[in-house]
Structure 1
Amino acid sequence: MALCGFLLFFITPAQADDTYEITQYHVDVNVLKNGDAELTQKITYDFDGDFHGVYYNQDLRGIKGVSNINVSAVQNGTTINMNQSSTGDNNTYTLEQTEDNLKIKLFHAISDETATFTYHYLLHGVVTNYKDTAELNWKIIGEKWDVPLKNVLIKIQLPQKNIKELQGWTHGKLDGQTTVKRTAGQVLIKLDENPENQFVESHLLFPNNVTPDNPNRVNKSIKKNVQRQEAELARQANEKRKRSERRSTIIKYLLLGLSLLSVGGWWLWRWRNPGNPQKPLPPVVHSYEIPEYSAEVTQAIIEDDQPNSKTFSAYLLELAAAKKIAIKKTGTKKDDYEVVLLEENLLKENKLLKVLFNEVGDGSKFSLKQLNKFGKRQRNSTKLQNSFSEWRKRVFKQARKSGYHDAVNAKLRTIALWSTLGSSSLLVVTMVVFWNTWVFWLLLLALIVNIVVCHFYRKKRPKYSKSGWQLLYRLLCFKKMLQDVGRFDMKKVGDLILWEQILPYAVAFGLAKKVIKELQTNFSTAELETNFGSYYPIFILGTGNFETAFNNSFTSAITSNSTSASGDSGGFSGGSSGGFGGGSGGGAF
């Protein structure tokens, strides 16, 4: 009679963040001559988190009961024998036994460690002696485990050796292994991993004289029916395996074909879309020629991206040099700066400046202290963010008007990148499927070639037009000169008036501190004070400089709210032969 399920053992669950694995599940079944079985289960847990103990449920339906229960644990090489107690104290266990179930709850506090728990007891009446054979039909692993069981080994030892008519079948996951050792009177069942909620059932037939003292007898013959039943289950299992293998083979080669087709398609697309290749830029050298574009536009062209907050600092310096605003040091602290409006028309064409002067300040000026305070409110920070975003877009649009951008190449570069990512991903998945075959190495070579081809395709097709490529080179040479400041005499480049024009570019490139330091080395204090214009008090005097102070204040303000078919034995098949024990299982709490 088919048996399944039992009442769940309700316990206090572990916290959601605490997890465990069962890394080894070993079962020894010693069948006695009277048809009883001594059962020893050794279950190794790997705990991640804090746990109070473990539990196990033994389904008793279909057998005659249980006795001689012993429980122990091994942790860090120390064996702990558990005592039965209703107190719930550490290293004790409780039992709740009914006609249908044995419930063992073991209290053993453990955190982030490994332990092996052993359950040993005697199950009565597990073997039935019929007229023509004795039968053991048992779901040794029940379907009530909520986690996979790894490294499963089940050993069933009969009370006699040299059993020529011993037959054994296993039902459950189809990739297990069953070994029938007739000389030893033993059956071994192995699985690398048994999935959660999946039973493992052993069905054995052997002569009645193996269990001669068994009182559990039935006066009928079953052997031929059982063999036919198991042959049919084995046939179904083999058919299922063959279907699975055919399906896997089809999927494998479809995936291989799709991978190679995707690579070939992208290579064909590359050949049909040459774009506008550019020759590599010559080595970057020093250029002392000031760019024809403002600092913020220059930075946008070099990066091919919208400018950042440092670039806005450079923009303010350009306005100061053009006498449209004034930047003043108002105290001794690093953020004691004030920006004064000198040309009111600026506010008509620049929303960000309008917010800074009219809402952060009083309409004619604003200070960095006011900016810090203004940005602390989320609504104000959002308004600054939106205004800054508009300014960045406007500058980037202005940079694009220079004609440096090649839209065709930019589009081809994007398509090439995503095509390579897609085809390479397919290649990697297919490589896993064909692991340890010659196809793997072929696919690995294709993957490497695919990535290299994409790299050179994109490298030869920059996002810059022919004129933009030449412009980029000039700008990079100018930036290179600023990066190498300190390796040449700055006076030979030009006087301080020229360096006053260059400084906003140094700010936009993030090189202001380096340039200021070298200016102080190459020019005297008198020269700087006389000839460095409005930049002297805000960069040279004091402990800080305007660029750093403004960038810190502005960045803080705009980011405050971000966030076997023959009937012989030994096979693994699906289905069930109706063995007892299907409701067994366990876990941790």
Structure 2
Amino acid sequence: MPMTKVSKVVGLLFSLFLLLAAQPAYAEEHSFEISEVDIDARIDGDGNMHVAEVDKYRFDGAFNGIIVDLNTSGSDGIDHFQAFEVTEEQNIPLRFEEASVDDNKVQYKIYAQSADETKLFRFTYSIKNVVQVYADTAELYWKFFDQTNPSKLGSVNIDVELPDGADPEEITAFGHGPLHGAVKIDNNGVVRYQVSPLPAEKMLEVRILFPGSYVPGSAKIDAASKLDQILEEERNWSADTDSADGADDASVYGALALLIANLAAGTILYIKFGKPLRPDWKGKYYRELPADVTPAVVSYLMKYRIKPRDLMATMADLVRKKHVDMKMIKGGGGWRDKTDYTFRLINKRTDELQPHETMLIDWFFGELGSSGQVSLSSIRRQAKTGAAAFLKRWSQWQAEVVKAVDQLDYISFRKWIPRFVILAVVVQFFGFWFLAPEDWRWLMFCSIPLLFFKPKRKRRTKLGQTEFTKWKAFKRFLHDYSQIASREPMAVHLWEHYFVYAIPLGEAKKMIAITRLNVPNADHDHTYFDNSIFYHYDHWAGSFDRTMATAHKSANSGDSDGSFSSGGGGGGGGGGRGAF
């Protein structure tokens, strides 16, 4: 950096320092602080949120009142706003004016003459339809303060109370804002957030996941399944980084040449290493199982990842193979809370099984169970108390599945290619940054488009692409079965076999619908797929999804019952506090 720029930067910083140093003398004559904010938010069965907030103000100088800014985005609006001054004897109602600042922001000016004193203010309001219900979870995603808040808050305590009967084991909580924030889930299901302090212009957002059955009257319903996506988003969130630099007309042609070179290199990389290979088979439907592989292998072939439901599909396949028996146990306290599923090892021979199937049997029956038997509720408890060990075994099992895929030569793993692309980008980027003349340094950003051509570390081989195409056609066959094969019902033994693959293919619900229409009930003495089990596939598979969520939550949060990150910002709500 030239000395002239250094001098300008130093001069600017010195001027700002003088300005900030002079500011407190003026501010002390007329200022206020908000030392405490306590918020109680109650969710009702219709997905509305009822808020009661108490703020502690310290006034230095004379003020006419306070300002409450609320943001209604992500909801259907605010009702029943009231404001009070809290004294030892009573809550005194206060006059206020409501004004809409824009489409979503509402400002309340609350009149209360104050001078050189400390006061407590209480305001209550209801927010309509704040809970979003998906197919596999309900979500409260709400900002109580956003970047428009002009005031520093000494401490903020937020208690979110879910509807009656909330089970803390079914609740997952996250917080977005300062990293020193804390989240805790009480035994009664109340989620407590604490941040001290909350700086001005900083966001404080809550995100709570819980069963949709808690809010049966919710009007915000989406049929999509979002639980896995939300959990993955929260695990991987990181703060955004800003990068910017100037531009100069003298380097435009150089930038154009570099862009063309990078685009050409990227195109060659994509054609040679990224473009899917041509399969040896084509067709709309594949009417039988394409290959004798396990459901977990199919899942990795289709999606390059292993999900918790793929493990349950593997367990269901072991039931079909007569190695394991599965039973549903109902209690007397309600289907949602009391229904459990037990697995019993009935065939200990593993010579015909794949290594990852044998590992699953050893894990569930040898480590988690006793006397050759284990239940989903027992697995969930052990996942919570021994989260680190549980997740380690889960990772080992995933790795064993990947090993099976590799042995089948379905997927090629090439780490060096994406690393080479990243290295090329880094060399260009930092080469221009440190070595190029100042007017040309902005060309370092021309290397970034090359990242969009970075091949994945995994690509299906020709055999893998062929099998992928067949399984995709088989998935289409299952999905369209009622239209293309409506004359005759599917044989029970085929349905049993197809169903375990329908789980990783995402067609399990469709298979259940086919069964209700066409497939006769199976013989209870020969298969577990009877009306008491497979109709409730979502329940036992969802139970293991929640088990994995519990393990991740316990492993990530340590002593806390939730987690805080500096990410977020996608929820509704927002606003700030002030005085006038």
TM-score if structure 1 supplies the norm length? 0.44
TM-score if structure 2 supplies the norm length? 0.45
